[in-house]
A and B are shown apart, each in its own frame.
Chain A
């Protein structure tokens, strides 16, 4: 049975949203993001500095490790605002790394989390080895026990924030079981190669480990549990980011449709354009409902439904809104100087990250026993 929850933001969340919005306005701009899109290691350090100073990076981590002790839904508010402006900061990757470390229950968490929660260190998950495949399966990367701990060998691809990260949460096979390790970027045998990302505001890398020194976080069921928790939290945070982006696309499209005149009329008065906007509105409102729902449910069985629901519905909504926004803008929407492509690239890339839309529909079908 569906959990009974409310949707309205709390007063604190309304305040948090406007604070983040002001911070984004003050610390960065779409021009800056566009400029960063020409690099393979885009990192809006001024925006990140602002988030650090506000104590937002470790928002959902416990107080003891320097976190904010806040709810996932509070973090969702932050993601929505950052998504609204496609800000190039590695918050999603760092959040997932922190969540995996925290969920692993490892004693090392107390040492690792403070630097991540403060934003001084940047973390990420390195759990994919190819364009397909389930990161919860035992990977090809192997770990062996050595005197100082463990040594990792193998290659991880599509590592988000890979070119920026200092702390990698890496999956590997340990005696045939799935295990999670921490590897520091400065360790010997670690090589990071930036890869040109479709959405350059979320840089990617291939990270190779050649007998790299690694410390064990968790193994077997504990590792699987920690990793799946991190991925699910990532999906839900990203869904809020998708809602923010989709909603910004709708706003841009409507604004343009009101001010662009052809045939002596605002183009928004033509039903072909108006109806496209109306359909975007429906998609955005639906996406908002499932994303907020996902961030608020606590019952694990209900979350199992809410995660694939959020991923599939919000991805589709963002793709629709970002695509139609370009269409409504016509030629100008196709140019590098316009903002529309930043959203379009983010929409496509988020629909593929953390499990494809199809994979999440299959997961939803599994949970519903279809």
Chain B
């Protein structure tokens, strides 16, 4: 797809993407064979590292209009993406030893909520609404799986309702306009709504089997914005049609299903939580991206994992999958007596 996005060229995107993918796979396999205990051990450390990176980004980061990236030579790192997996690991470890009763107690729930809100506040300051939301939702899902009482979620929702209007005024203009665009894309076809309308046209004109590889007129003639990153799924829809879209979604669904299998079969609570946490993160990426390019959600800048250009999201999921694989290799290890 990135080959097509560059008009049938491996540069500038496809070749680099492949290299990163290869590096990521190597990392994933390494993590898988290092073993689940080690993952468990480094989880807090990983979280702390990511948190520090987020603070560094806040201080020196670079990026277009928003400070999201850290340039570390071979690639530009987006610590907020890594934080998603780090948070899952850290929360999983926190909840690993908590019983149902204790997970509802303040000595567990308090640090948990803090662990979620602190990084997401930093990410929101970058400002990156999409990622911040993903972090929060990921964290909430983990708490939900960890057995926190539903009543507590009700309270959180009530608080959110109160905070939301206040947050609206704290949002940046472009974030507000994105939400407004989502609500009324036809209102301003050459302005903010232009991208999403062009995206509809591209998807829709693809039909059942698409216009053919490299033959998407919307994509190839640059009517489609950001076709190599956030809108790569649109290009897929235009060139390969509904068939291509369904195929890709089924691949993701299978991956998520495999993670569920690991999560349901694993002995250790940590493994279970990590597997489902990674599954949820993957799902959120895919769902939000696809929903966004099809106009079901505001354009929040969430990439399509493994397909969009941009290394960190892929790396994040590869790390997550690596940990899940490590858990799968050692399904029966209950990780008892580990704190």
Do the two chains bind? no
Chain B contact residues, CB within 8 Å of chain A: none
Chain A contact residues, CB within 8 Å of chain B: none
